[in-house]
């Protein structure tokens, strides 16, 4: 019953936000001739599958510049980043996000030390994306706070009270305050592309990458495939790292596009602060599994200057005492201005 109430409230909130965007964003009839950038709203949560545990919630709001509006300093920086090429279209991204983690039974005032620790990460994000006809390079830097300064506990308690859901009682045992830094680099490429038959085509895009910092350290590799009508020129919908790479922008190839996508990503992990605990002081922690796999599948629809996507994520166990693998959903709305 509580899950149904939460899902109904979330659906109402999404509908309200969508209608608000419709009232303020350019309509199909009066869009400007010159693109200025893309606004992204991204929400990930386990309650789509009544699975409110471990990685329980993530949200991200970001703005990605149009190529003609990318600052000169960002273009110059992209030309000097290792592994980036010396040509290609460059975009800059600025964002604000938050990730929230909790144990399986958040009604307990003192959760078992073998369960996922309470934790949160509130961060600002700045990134670069450089795309050529066959390659995409993305670099992003996230700087923020882990622990009470992330206000993750306050947000979760407020939302649960708003929805009439169970009160999370164990935030006293969350990770301690610590600055958080993540530098993430991803390289994707078009390995397979098809011609178009009645507007239907497909592509396959492998990727390699990694992250370094005191929040995450890992290397990853995988691939994603898309099939649909008038595939937009992108690499799939946006996701919150660590994940398969997506893009915070898209280039329409028609007035309407729709595609199905599926992908896998494997990560070899040296550090995950939300499982290993704080870097500089003792805190709750669990025995981390050093390899994690994601499988995702979903659907994306693009209409003129809008792209709406839903992603279903299956994630393998991340620590030895985790009861079972996790599932969660991700909703991404992108609007070109």
The pLDDT value recorded for residue 304 is 86
What is the Cα–Cα distance from 91 to 277, expressed in whole angstroms?
Answer: 35
Cβ atoms of 105 and 69 closer than 8 Å: no
Between these two residues, 205 and 87, which has the higher pLDDT value? 205
**252: its two tokens:** 């329409």
**70: its two tokens:** 């990318």
Span 244-261, mean pLDDT? 93
User: Rounded to a whole number, what is the distance in angstroms from the first to the last CA of the chain?
Assistant: 40
Span 229-252, mean pLDDT? 95
Name, in order, each residue with C-beta under 8 angstroms of 236's C-beta and a sequence gap of 6 or more. Answer: 205, 224, 226, 244, 245, 246, 247, 261, 263, 300, 309
What is the Cα–Cα distance from 24 to 21, expressed in whole angstroms?
Answer: 5
Which of 142, 45, 140 has the alpha carbon at shortest distance from 101?
Answer: 45
Residue 177 reports pLDDT greater than 60: yes
What is the Cα–Cα distance from 120 to 312, expressed in whole angstroms?
Answer: 22
Q: Say what the pTM is.
A: 0.90
What is the Cα–Cα distance from 283 to 261, expressed in whole angstroms?
Answer: 39
**281: its two tokens:** 């002081």
At which residue do the structure tokens 């510049």 appear? Answer: 65
pLDDT digits over 266-298, tens only? 999 999 999 999 999 999 999 999 999 999 999
């Amino acid at each position: 019953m509580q899950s149904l109430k939460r899902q109904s409230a979330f659906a109402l909130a999404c509908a309200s936000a969508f209608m608000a965007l419709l009232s303020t964003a350019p309509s199909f009839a009066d869009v400007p001739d010159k693109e200025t950038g893309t606004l992204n709203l991204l929400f990930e949560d386990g309650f789509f599958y009544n699975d409110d545990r471990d990685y329980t919630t993530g949200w991200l709001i970001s703005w990605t510049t149009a190529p003609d509006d990318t600052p000169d300093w960002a273009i110059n920086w992209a030309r000097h980043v290792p592994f980036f090429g010396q040509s290609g279209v460059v975009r800059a991204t600025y964002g604000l996000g938050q990730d929230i983690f909790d144990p399986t039974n958040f009604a307990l005032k003192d959760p078992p030390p073998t369960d996922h620790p309470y934790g949160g990460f509130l961060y600002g994000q700045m990134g670069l994306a450089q795309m050529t006809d066959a390659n995409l390079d993305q670099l992003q830097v996230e700087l923020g706070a882990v622990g009470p300064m992330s206000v993750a506990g306050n947000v979760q308690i407020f939302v649960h009270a708003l929805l009439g859901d169970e009160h999370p009682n164990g935030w006293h045992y969350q990770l301690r305050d610590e600055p958080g830094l993540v530098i993430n680099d991803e390289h994707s490429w078009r390995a397979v592309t098809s011609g178009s038959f009645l507007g239907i085509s497909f592509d396959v895009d492998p990727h390699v990458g990694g992250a370094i910092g005191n929040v995450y350290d890992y290397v990853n590799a995988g691939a994603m495939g898309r099939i649909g009508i008038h595939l937009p020129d992108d690499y799939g919908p946006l996701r919150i790292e660590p994940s398969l790479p997506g893009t915070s922008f898209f280039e329409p190839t028609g007035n309407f596009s729709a595609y199905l996508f599926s992908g896998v990503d494997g990560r070899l992990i040296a550090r995950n602060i939300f499982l290993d605990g704080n870097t500089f002081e003792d805190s709750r922690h669990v025995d981390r599994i050093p390899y994690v796999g994601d499988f995702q599948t979903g659907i994306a629809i693009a209409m003129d200057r809008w792209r709406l996507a839903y992603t279903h994520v299956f994630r393998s166990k991340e620590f030895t005492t985790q009861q079972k693998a996790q599932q969660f959903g991700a909703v991404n709305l992108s609007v070109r201005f």
